[in-house]
Amino acid sequence: MEERLQKVLAAAGVASRREAEEYITAGRVKVNGKVVKELGTKVGPNAFITVDGHPVHRERKTYLLFYKPRGVVTTMKDPEGRKSIADFVKDIPQRVYPVGRLDYNTEGLLLLTNDGELAQAMTHPSHEVNKTYEVTVPGIVPQDKLDLLRIGVKLEDGMTAPALVNLLGYDYDKNLTRFTVTIHEGRNRQVRRMCDYIGFPVRYLRRVMMGPLTLTGLRRGDCRELFNEEIEELRAACGLKRDPEKKPAAESKPEKKAKPAGEGKPKRTAVAKPEGRKPARPRFKPEEKPAKRAEDGKPKRIKKV
């Protein structure tokens, strides 16, 4: 199937669609050895494309949901030799990369993909998707401190947008308070800094939800491909149109939710557990349940101020 050149470049992770258009009009892109400056030029699946003389590798779009454990860096390689994401996706032939990041000591949900367009849309400030974190801090957190997070706090890089905060419970034995924070911004160490601001430094941090995606069914270090429906929900959550290559939901949706992105069953990766293992149950104790979702099953978008 022929596709527009800028779309092929974006899908290959070379640049966003708009940047790809700029590359094309600037004469930096060649198709089968010829400079193509016309936007909208369509190319077939076997066209040999270069940008600034570098070949563009066209891969199947891949979307992996990864449960990053603590003590793993959110890069594909670490110069200091620490464990990185690459250690968990060794069997994946596509060059996926993480969308956003989690601190070394934060665990939880990460999306890995080679879809440059989706990655860019998800991290763009104008439509960043909601991210929910489960936070554990020492001591009893008074409501007025949680209210500060709800209103927004002043960090060195500016006020934070209002956050959704849900108190999960207090553990008397361990003297720990647990709550969830839902934000749509993606500033560096934001949740930790917000908690520092209210005087309750984070003891434990885990991302449990990102847009429509949750950790349910994954154990630390597990990875699975997204279902087509999840990809479409994610595209919608960050303002992208339905992918025309994907069948409409009604057609692609199986009786039970079982169809993955691409063919066959969702694959687990290098860290796949032996066949027949039951999928992990969500690991929340009743008092640790993540923030209640809205009735439609999705966290509400928090309005920016």
Residue 103 designated active-site: yes
**Ranges of H-type helices in 183-252:** 190-197, 228-237, 249-252
Q: Is 103 in the site for ligand URA (CB under 6 A)?
A: yes
Which residue do the tokens 């994954």 mark? 218
Could you say which of 191, 208, 210, 237 contacts ligand URA (CB under 6 A)? 191
Interface with ligand URA, residue 189, by CB under 6 A: yes
The four Cα atoms 75, 76, 81, 84 give a dihedral, to 10 degrees, of 70
CA distance 19 to 144: 45
CA distances (Å), 133 to each of 164, 258, 275, in order? 10, 27, 31
Residue 192 binds to ligand URA (criterion: CB under 6 A): yes
| SS3 state at 62 | coil
Sequence-separated (6 or more) residues with CB below 8 Å from residue 146: 165, 167, 179, 198
CA 210 to chain centre: 6
**Residue 203 lies near ligand URA (rule: CB under 6 A):** no
Task: Compare residues 4 and 189 and give the one whose CB is closer to ligand URA.
Answer: 189
Give the per-residue contact string, 60-99, with ligand URA (x = CB under 6 A; - = no): ----------------------------------------
Binder among 8, 102, 110, 234 for ligand URA (CB under 6 A): 102
Piece of the chain touching ligand URA by CB under 6 A; list 101-109, 156-164, 222-230, 295-303: 101-109
**Binds ligand URA by CB under 6 A, chosen from 182, 190, 214, 228:** 190
127 binds ligand URA (CB under 6 A): no
Binding site for ligand URA (CB under 6 A): 102-103, 106, 189-192, 205
Residues noted as catalytic: 103
